[in-house]
């Protein structure tokens, strides 16, 4: 996994005090982006997942609210970040993930590979809470087997994200009054409720 950097103390990337990982590489390249240094896939530095998890385990959970994945595009590293997210949540920390994709686009990718409608995916998550997303995917037919594993990790990251802030930054809709997001088209989504309801549920 390549990262642009880590901010160990942030109050602008989600509620409360947060540990923020900025991943390297972004396909969206939004006009007006303030993190252009994260666009190049070959930039940044290689990061070890175990090392990052070690840093998170040393956080004072009485002080920190959670961790945040930003970038760059976090879903490019769904496998690595889902591992980190699980470890953080086990410590009682919540997980915020920023993405230039919409919630619907992420679900469409997952559905294409593992099959089933959004409600069925939510049921699979609920029924197999202790299983990995890869194990869930193997129980469903795949249309493009070579890509299925990659998108199963997207499901794993999604289900281990508490809050998803989705959508490309739109410079024409820029609004500095918004909390934790840059433009009015972006949404702050309760992932668990959204999966259960079969539709987007915003905070």
Output the pLDDT for position 138: 37
Q: Is residue 166 part of a domain?
A: yes
Structure tokens at 104: 């619907």
Output the pLDDT for position 83: 97
**Integer Cα distance of 105 and 120 in angstroms:** 17
CATH of the domain at 77: 3.20.20
Q: Is residue 143 part of a domain?
A: yes
DSSP 181: -
**Integer Cα distance of 72 and 2 in angstroms:** 10
**For the chain, where are the E strands, in sequence order?**
2-10, 17-23, 45-46, 64-70, 94-98, 163-166, 187-190
Per the structure, the complete domain to which residue 163 belongs is given by 2-197
Output the pLDDT for position 44: 96
Q: Is residue 202 part of a domain?
A: no
Output the pLDDT for position 112: 75
73-103 per-residue burial string, b: 16 or more CB within 10 A, e: under 16: bbbbbbbbbbbbbbbbbeeebbbbbbbbbbb
Distances, alpha carbon 5 to alpha carbons 37, 97, 101, 125, 150, in Å: 11, 15, 21, 31, 24
Q: Is residue 138 part of a domain?
A: yes
Q: Is residue 203 part of a domain?
A: no
Look at the chain and report how many structural domains it folds into: 1
Q: For strands 94-98 and 64-70, give the pairing.
A: parallel
Q: Tokens 């840093």: give the residue.
A: 55
Output the pLDDT for position 118: 54
Q: Is residue 23 part of a domain?
A: yes
Each of the 203 residues of the chain gets a pLDDT tens digit; together they read: 999 999 999 999 999 999 999 999 999 999 999 899 999 999 999 999 999 999 999 999 999 999 999 999 999 999 999 999 999 999 999 999 999 999 999 999 888 766 654 555 655 555 433 333 333 333 333 333 333 456 779 999 999 999 999 999 999 999 999 999 999 999 999 999 999 999 999 99
CA-nearest of 52, 46, 118 to 81 is: 52
In this structure, is the dihedral angle defined by the CA atoms of residues 195, 18, 98 and 183, taken in order, positive or negative?
A: positive
């Amino acid at each position: 996994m390549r990262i642009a950097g880590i901010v160990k103390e942030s109050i602008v990337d989600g509620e409360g005090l947060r540990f923020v990982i900025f991943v390297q590489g972004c396909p969206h390249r939004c006009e007006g982006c303030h993190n252009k240094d994260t666009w190049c896939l070959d930039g940044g530095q290689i990061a070890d997942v175990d090392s990052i998890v070690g840093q998170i385990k040393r956080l004072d959970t009485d002080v920190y609210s959670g961790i945040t994945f930003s970038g760059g595009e976090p879903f490019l590293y769904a496998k690595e970040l889902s591992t980190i997210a699980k470890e953080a949540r086990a410590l009682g920390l919540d997980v915020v993930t920023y993405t230039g994709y919409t919630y619907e686009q992420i679900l469409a990718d997952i559905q294409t590979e593992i099959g089933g409608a959004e409600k069925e995916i939510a049921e699979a998550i609920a029924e197999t809470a202790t299983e990995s997303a890869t194990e869930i995917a193997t129980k469903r037919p795949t249309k493009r087997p070579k890509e299925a594993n990659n998108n199963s990790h997207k499901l794993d990251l999604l289900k281990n994200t508490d809050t998803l802030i989705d959508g490309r930054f739109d410079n024409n809709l820029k609004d500095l009054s918004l909390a934790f997001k840059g433009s009015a088209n972006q949404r702050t989504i309760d992932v668990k409720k959204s999966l259960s309801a079969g539709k987007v549920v915003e905070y």
